[in-house]
Amino acid sequence: MGDYGGGGFERILETVVEACQKKRQCKFQSSSKNLGADPCPGIGKFIEVGYKCRPYEFRSKVACENDMVQLKCNPHSRIAIYSASFGRTEYESVQCPQPQGVPEEIHNELELNDNSKEYYKKEGKVRL
């Protein structure tokens, strides 16, 4: 267990807002290097961004770690970010490649709880 203070993935929303808010389109790299300290190095993660093409169209984008993420709205709309999360869930629905040598059962033991900003692992917690 460890405490990662202000350098953890809680910066994800701030990072995405800085890159995309009020733009018609944007791109950013979904790398843990860009998003703060990685409390679970070697475990593949994904990013999910919820956004709205103002004034009325809601969208969501999911990408694997290290992918280039592109958000895009039509020419008369602008991006409004309303959520962003980066990590891994216990019941994975996103098919992202695993790092070489990481067994599937280890890969699926992590769960990101957005409300408490904690990674849960079967052996204990890693607080961000």
pLDDT digit string (tens) for 45-102? Answer: 888 898 988 877 888 888 888 888 999 998 889 999 988 888 776 665 557 766 666 5
pLDDT digit string (tens) for 4-56? Answer: 333 456 678 888 899 899 999 998 888 777 666 677 777 778 888 989 888 77
User: Most distant CA pair in the chain: distance in Å?
Assistant: 50
Using alpha carbons, list the distances in angstroms from residue 24 to 27, 48, 112: 11, 19, 29
Q: What per-residue confidence (pLDDT) applies to 62?
A: 87
0.75 surpassed by pTM = no
Domain membership of residue 24 as a residue range: 5-127
Domain count across the chain: 1
Q: What per-residue confidence (pLDDT) applies to 42?
A: 78
Which residues share a beta bridge with 85? 48
Contact 68/109 with Cβ under 8 angstroms?
Answer: no
